[in-house]
Amino acid sequence: MIREELVFVGVPDIAGRLRGKAFPRADLEARLQRGVGWTPTNVQITCFDLIAESPFGPLGDLVMIPDPQAESRVDFQDGGPADHILLGDLRELDGRPWLACTRQLLRDALERLKRVSGLDALMSFEHEFHLKGAERPHGDAYSLGGFRAQADFCETLIAALRTGGLDPDTVMKEYGADQYEVTIDPKLGLRAADEAAILREIVRGTAERYGDAASFTPLRNPAGVGNGVHIHISFRDEEGQPATYDPDAEHGMAVFTGAFIAGVLKYLDAIVAITAPSVVSYTRLTPHRWSAAFNNLGFQDREASVRLCPISAQEPDAIAKQFNFEYRAADGAATPHLALAAIIHAGVQGIEEGLPAPKATHYDLSALTPQELAAQGYIRLPQSLPEALDRFAGNATVTGWFPEGFAQLYCQHKRGELAFLRGKSMEAVCADYEASY
């Protein structure tokens, strides 16, 4: 069959999907300048394809400009087409960034971090997902058997990630039924979110090559194990040296690290609407699911929203380099760029406010009464998407981090998603998200 290679340029949109258009590879140079056309109302296409209320209606035009810094080409060498993806930016026709360009929103947050603290952020997204077709019996958690059952997939996945320009770290059979996890090396700034978006597509593409399907849905069934996305963050100073750790401070948190984490925890109830943005996210974010249910810092505690990660290094320089913290209240329904923008803004807000480093909790917060929680300065995170959206929309500091009109657009989008699910059982809702993510 005759064939011509196509390139897909897509934007990580606010539904957490990569949406875009394909063009002949021969046109790539020209398209890097000219872009491809895009419609403002596309931003309101929810994860169920239904278009939420849009202030733009059928009007207006945008241009999607592919970024050669965010290119991934994977030829699986199975005779099928290569997966050739470029992420793009959404601009107005006069070249100005569009208000809902998620890559631009992240750039804005990173620039604010740099301006306020002089720091760059080094980050990595740790992804959990499940293979829908696997249907293995129970008893596979972390096992060699469970790994071997998908060893072909795992090996192709690692090769595909590397070919696509990412640096694979580990792959494992996770605890949940048919659940796997893949990690990649951390990257600076925008690149970290770009790689998270690319990784999801490579995982899906690899599963499809094996006649299977991967899903990053936050929760496959109400009683099951959640798929989390844990975001690891550390800082580099202007010389590129590690700047997260202070050996003399409590739990090793340098002043900016402590203030950053304090900001994330202070604004957490208002940003989960962005980092855990599906209906099923809020069943995952409940106590004893190893996710996050309160706005607490944990020292090596997997039920804390922010966890100080373990250090295996022994030498001071190596410890400083390895020291990082992990945001656990995120999932695969979130756009990596938007989630990171919200987390970075919250952290920088904490730095600007000069917040003291939080104390780490060492006990089960779910055992406390609401009064006891409040007395210690903790809150239970929102327990539903509508509640999370209200906290987001109601927090003027948080909505003020984004361009005028963005918060309203985001809430309208999510309300459209909610409308699609109205009246459905939790099982049906889980199935809808599993099909979408």
Residues that bind ligand GLU (CB under 6 A): 128, 225-226, 228, 284, 289-291, 302, 328
CA 239 to CA 246: how far, in whole Å?
Answer: 17
CA 76 to CA 204: how far, in whole Å?
Answer: 13
Q: Does 303 bind Mg ion (CB under 5 A)?
A: no
Q: Which does 307 bind (CB under 5 to 8 A by kind): Mg ion, ligand GLU, none?
A: none
Residue with the CB atom nearest ligand GLU in the bound state:
228
Q: Does 326 bind Mg ion (CB under 5 A)?
A: no
CA 83 to CA 430: how far, in whole Å?
Answer: 29
CB of 331 to ligand GLU, least distance (A): 7
- Closer CB to ligand GLU, 225 or 346, in the complex: 225
Q: Which does 430 bind (CB under 5 to 8 A by kind): ligand GLU, Mg ion, none?
A: none
Closest among 26, 7, 134, 114 to 64, alpha carbons compared: 7
Q: Please choose, out of 173-181, 269-277, 394-402, 410-418, the segment that lies near Mg ion by the rule CB under 5 A.
A: 173-181
Q: Which does 284 bind (CB under 5 to 8 A by kind): Mg ion, ligand GLU, none?
A: ligand GLU
Contact 207, 216 (CB under 8 A): no
Helices (H), 65-141: 102-117
CA 84 to CA 366: how far, in whole Å?
Answer: 46
Length of the chain: 437
CA 308 to CA 324: how far, in whole Å?
Answer: 6
Q: Applying CB under 5 A, which of residues 181, 301, 417, 432 lies at the interface with Mg ion?
A: 181
Q: Which does 225 bind (CB under 5 to 8 A by kind): ligand GLU, Mg ion, none?
A: ligand GLU
End-to-end CA distance of the chain: 32
- Closer CB to Mg ion, 71 or 128, in the complex: 128
Contact 356, 262 (CB under 8 A): yes
Q: Hey, CA dihedral for 410, 416, 417, 423, is it positive or negative?
A: positive
Q: Which does 73 bind (CB under 5 to 8 A by kind): ligand GLU, Mg ion, none?
A: none
Q: Which does 40 bind (CB under 5 to 8 A by kind): ligand GLU, Mg ion, none?
A: none
Percentages helix, strand, coil for the chain, rounded to the nearest 5? 40, 25, 40
Q: Does 434 bind Mg ion (CB under 5 A)?
A: no
CB of 135 to ligand GLU, least distance (A): 19
- Closer CB to Mg ion, 181 or 195, in the complex: 181
- Closer CB to Mg ion, 146 or 242, in the complex: 146
Q: Which residue ranges make up the site for Mg ion (CB under 5 A)?
A: 181
